[in-house]
């Protein structure tokens, strides 16, 4: 991805609040979670890409999306270098948080109960994504 493919990144919380909706800000900047089965992207399937709603970085290819039944868009793999994984010890659990490598936005979590070929389930908040059809 070239620099021209992503937006100029805000530098302050105030600037992020100006470019994101209230719900996008809560999820991407405050590590929130959208309600189960609330995302418009839950049933979207296609050859396009799922991009970061914060910066436009291409995160997941449409062909890696699968129906997990969990209530959030799920993918078995992320684009190379597009996301970073971090330990998350919030809410009395130990999980692996998924963040956008470009803007550091919280996307969701990754689990080891996904399908082949990776065995991973990237459980992602739909509000943190934008779908771009090919």
Catalytically annotated residues: 123
User: How many other CB atoms are found less than 10 A from the CB of residue 130?
Assistant: 17
| Distance separating alpha carbons of residues 82 and 113, to the nearest angstrom | 21
Give the list of residues 6+ apart from residue 38 with CB closer than 8 angstroms, or none. 71, 126
Distance between start and end Cα atoms, the chain: 16
């Amino acid at each position: 991805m070239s620099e021209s493919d992503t937006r100029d990144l805000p530098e302050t919380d105030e600037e992020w609040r100006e470019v994101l909706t209230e719900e996008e800000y809560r999820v991407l900047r405050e590590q929130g979670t959208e309600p189960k089965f609330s995302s418009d992207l839950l049933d979207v399937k296609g050859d396009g890409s799922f991009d970061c709603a914060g910066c436009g970085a291409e995160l997941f290819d449409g062909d890696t999306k699968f129906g997990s039944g969990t209530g959030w868009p799920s993918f078995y793999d992320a684009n190379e270098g597009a996301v970073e994984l971090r330990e998350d010890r919030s809410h009395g659990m130990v999980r692996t948080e998924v963040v956008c490598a470009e803007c550091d936005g919280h996307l969701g979590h990754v689990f080891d109960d996904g399908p082949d070929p990776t065995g991973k389930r990237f459980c992602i908040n739909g509000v943190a994504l934008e779908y771009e059809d090919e």
